[in-house]
Every structure is written in structure tokens, then in C-alpha cells.
Amino acid sequence: PPPYTGVWMGNSKLCAIGVHCGNHITSHGLALNCCTDLTWFNHIVPCGLEGKGVTSLSQELGHHVTVSHILQPFLDSFQEVFDCSLVFSEDPG
């Protein structure tokens, strides 16, 4: 819910999105909870947001959803939304 970043299902965060800038380097990323063991979040305040929960695709859809199930549809949607072509390399350098 606004003003919080990420993807939310009601008051529970499904996907965290972040940007870090430092030492003239910008990095960014996201964490999409597919089949995450959500019990670990009982021991912390996720993303520093008191009173907010965390959820996963598996919990919301009511069946086991793995990263391998969601990776290609996610990448296809990313390319469509950002009007880009993803290039994959065996050498990350």
C-alpha cells in the first residue's frame, strides 16, 4: 500500500524492490517470494515496516509455486513492460 515500495497483497508484501547507491556504483534488485518459508519473518520486522506482513505466490495461489515455474513468465513480462530485450551471458563479467 502507498507509500511503500514493492508488490503488495493487502497488507502483506509479496515482492521487495530495492536500489542501492554507493562508491559510484548503483545496484538494484528484487525479491519475489515464490515458495519462501514465511515463518522466518516471524523473527524480524520485514523491511523495517512494523505491523505489515509478508506473503508468497504459493500462499496466495494455494499451491506450490517454485522459481522455475515463474522465472520465464516473469522475464517475458519484464521485457514487455520495459520494452527491452534481455541478454544472457555465461560470463557475468
User: Could you tell me the end-to-end alpha-carbon distance of the chain, in angstroms, rounded to an integer?
Assistant: 37
56 class by beta-carbon count within 10 Å (0-12 exposed, 13-18 middle, 19+ buried)? buried
Mean pLDDT taken over the chain: 90
Mean pLDDT of 18-30: 90
pTM to 2 decimals?
0.79
Res. 90 pLDDT band, cuts 50 70 90? confident
pLDDT at 3: 78
Cβ atoms of residues 15 and 6 within 8 Å:
yes
Catalytic residues: 47
More confident residue, 6 or 91: 6
Residues in Cβ contact with 49 at an 8 Å cutoff, skipping those fewer than 6 apart:
4, 13
> How many residues would you count in the chain?
93
Rounded to whole angstroms, how far apart are CA atoms 57 and 73?
14
* pLDDT tens, residue by residue, 25-58: 999 898 999 999 999 998 988 888 888 999 999 9
